[in-house]
Chains A and B, each alone.
Chain A
Amino acid sequence: MKRLIKTLKGLWSLIVGLKITGVELFKPWLTVHYPRQEVTNLSSFRGHIELMPAADDLLTPRCIMCWKCVEICPSRCISLRMHVKGEEPGQAGADPGLLLAPEVKSPYSVHLAPPPEKIERILDSYRLNYSLCSLCGLCVQACPVDAIRFSRNAYLVGTTRQSFDLDLLARLKSRAASAAVSARANP
């Protein structure tokens, strides 16, 4: 008797299952047809990092070249180059050769005293090797002037490893250019 009730309950559960899939059959799709439609909830997407422009000038990064992001990165995927105004470009903080040097030696970490406040520094390049990045976000947290944020670039694709070696300074400039174009289009 007990087994009979158990079997009948089991049969009823089969009908319940059919009802669930039968109802789902007539509900609208949940998936997005990518090339024709795009998702709208990209605001929560954490893509690779990107540089933020300064408040007054879209072409200049907010970065103060403190090297904190380079030092804190556990994957060593950020490298940047700068020069002090009046010097030859690429003197200070010479590029350690992107990620190939195991120890990144920044000029201000161990050996040297911090430079005087008034020296104006110019960012020559800011590169991210995205194929090594684990998106931990430590660089974003460490930045004292909020010069880095996560991009919403969900559609990044590439066919070579080199295409994930991103030049973030160039990206900032192209973004500023396209912003200027759209500002001119819809004033």
Chain B
Amino acid sequence: MMAQLTALLTHPLGQMIAALAAIMAFLGVNGLVLLYTERKVAGFIQRRPGPYEVGPQGLLQPFADAGKLISKQLVAPMGADRLLFWLAPLVSLAPVVVCFLPIPFSPLLTGMEANLGLLLILAFSGLNTLALCLAGWGSNNKYSLLGAARAVAQSVAYEIPLLLAVLAVAFQAGSLDLSAIVAPQTKGLLSWNVFVQPLAFVIFFISAVAETNRAPFDLPEAESELTAGFHTEYSGMGFGIFFLAEYSYMVVVCAVATALFLGGWGGPVLPGPWWFLCKVFALVFALMWFRWTFPRVRFDQLLNVCWKWLIPLGLANLVATALAVKWMR
């Protein structure tokens, strides 16, 4: 029995299925934890207690929120394209699960060893834009449509600097396999890529904030202008799934940033996966910190930052990296 189970889990397909199940469980728990953390961070930055009434220190608040979202009626607006409308949240959440597969939590704890893992993540995270576009179009609502249009313009623009920053690191490591990129960084703090490629890290992180539609780049939902942007018309779990997807993408980009720049699973004393999670959630905390510090940028400013600063800097950084790699060999 035990031998059969081990054989099943060591088979690549069995391993992948187990990893997918584990990732889904992780995403659910992650959604609950980040929902609570975000509200607590918001509260503490504004010097108030945050959620406090449900459970000790408000710890049961995310369960109450989840229960509310699950039990709410699902309403599709009149004149909406019902198929696209209900497809959109699923298209938003489903690719995230795949995005987690090649992320190396430790040399052993990797869902799928893929030599093009980085490419897989970038390709599947791009699908989120499609989901926002479907949601905006299917809702038959001007605010949703405006939010979707903004989401597309923003994602298309910021995908370029993101890729340029990632490429610089990939050039340096000579691989698109995340484990192979992390491995040389585990020799100590100074071997982290963030010290070799600081500009690439800054560009990557700014683009990541924009790609996940987080404040100060949250123009697709911009609650003061577009009520809730692309998810204006969604109630109950339709909204809940978008919410879960947003938090999951936050973890994906932070995990990629950790693997590319912050030495992945490398660290003393604690085992690798704990170090990886610590770094990821430190970056997630930084994203929340940004959200409650910076006001939302205007749309022209958003695109100016990308086209006039990030892309030229990213290109220059890429060329410099290519020359350095060539020269060193």
A residues apposed to B, CB below 8 Å? 7, 14, 17-18, 20-22, 24-31, 33
Interface centre among A17, A21, A26, A29 (most CB of B within 10 A): A21
Would you give the 0/1 interface string for B155-188, flagging 1 where the beta carbon is closer than 8 Å to chain A? Answer: 0000000000000000000000000000000000
- What would 8 A/B residue contacts be, using CB atoms closer than 8 Å? A7-B309, A18-B289, A21-B292, A25-B44, A26-B44, A27-B47, A31-B48, A33-B52
Asked whether B41 is an interface residue with its Cβ less than 8 Å from the other chain, the reply is: yes
Contacts of B41 in A (CB 8 A): 25
B327 cross-chain contacts in A, Cβ below 8 A: none
B49 touches A33 (CB 8 A): yes
Asked if A17 and B294 make an inter-chain contact with CB atoms under 8 angstroms apart, the answer reads: yes
Q: Are A30 and B289 in contact (CB under 8 A)?
A: no
Contact yes or no, A21 B49, CB < 8 A: no
B158 to chain A, nearest CB (A): 17
Q: Which residues of B contact A20 (CB under 8 A)?
A: 293
Provide the B193-231 mask, 1 if CB < 8 A to any CB of A, else 0: 000000000000000000000000000000000000000
Instruction: Name which residue of chain A comes closest to B43, CB basis.
Output: A29
Q: How far is the CA of A59 from the CA of B48 in the complex (A)?
A: 43
Tell me the minimal C-beta distance from A143 to chain B in angstroms. Answer: 41
* B21 beta carbon closer than 8 Å to chain A: no
CB of B45 closer than 8 Å to a CB of A: yes
Q: Which residue of A lies closest to B47 (CB)?
A: A30
Inter-chain pairs besides A18-B290, A33-B49, A33-B52, 20 sampled, C-beta below 8 Å: A14-B294, A17-B294, A18-B289, A18-B293, A21-B45, A21-B289, A21-B292, A21-B293, A22-B289, A24-B45, A24-B46, A25-B44, A25-B289, A26-B44, A27-B47, A29-B48, A29-B49, A30-B48, A31-B47, A31-B49
Which residues of A lie under 8 Å from residue B46 when comparing CB positions? 24
Within 8 A of A (CB), among B237-295: 289-290, 292-294
Total interface residues on B, using CB and 8 Å?
A: 14
Closest 4 CB pairs of A and B: A31-B48, A30-B47, A21-B293, A21-B45
Chain A interface main SS type: helix
Chain B binding site: helix, strand, loop or mixed by DSSP?
Answer: loop
Interface positions of B (Cβ within 8 A of A): 41, 44-49, 52, 289-290, 292-294, 309
User: For residue A27, which residues in chain B have a CB less than 8 angstroms away from its CB?
Assistant: 47
A24 touches B47 (CB 8 A): yes
Residues of A within 8 A of B309 (CB): 7
Residues of A close to B293: CB separation below 8 A: 17-18, 20-21
Cα A22 to Cα B286 with chains together (Å): 10
What's the minimum C-beta distance from A21 to chain B, rounded to whole angstroms?
4
Contact across chains for A29 and B47 when beta carbons are under 8 A apart: yes
When distances are taken between beta carbons in the complex, the residues of chain A under 8 Å from B292 are 21
B49 adjacent to A25 (CB under 8 Å): no
Rounded to whole angstroms, the CA-CA distance of A100 and B108 in the bound complex is 83
Nearest CB on B from A4, distance (A): 10
State A33–B41 Cα separation when bound (angstroms).
Answer: 18
A29 to B289, CA, bound (A): 17
- Residue in B41, B45, B309 with the greatest tally of chain A CB atoms within 10 Å: B45
What is the CB-to-nearest-CB distance from B307 to chain A, in angstroms, rounded to a whole number?
Answer: 14
A173 CB to nearest chain B CB (Å)? 38
Contacts of B45 in A (CB 8 A): 21, 24-25
Expressed in whole angstroms, the Cα–Cα distance for A17 and B48 within the complex equals: 19
> In the docked arrangement, what's the CA distance between A139 and B41, Å?
47
A22 CA / B290 CA spacing, docked (Å): 10
Chain B residues, CB < 8 A from A7: 309
* Chain A: minimal CB distance from B110 (Å): 33
A96 to B147, CA, bound (A): 60
Q: Quote the shortest CB–CB distance from A27 to chain B (angstroms).
A: 6
Bound together, the chains give a CA A58 to CA B294 distance in angstroms of 58
- Looking at the assembled complex, report how far the CB atom of A31 sits from the nearest CB atom of chain B, in whole angstroms: 4
CB-CB < 8 A to A29: which residues of B?
A: 47-49
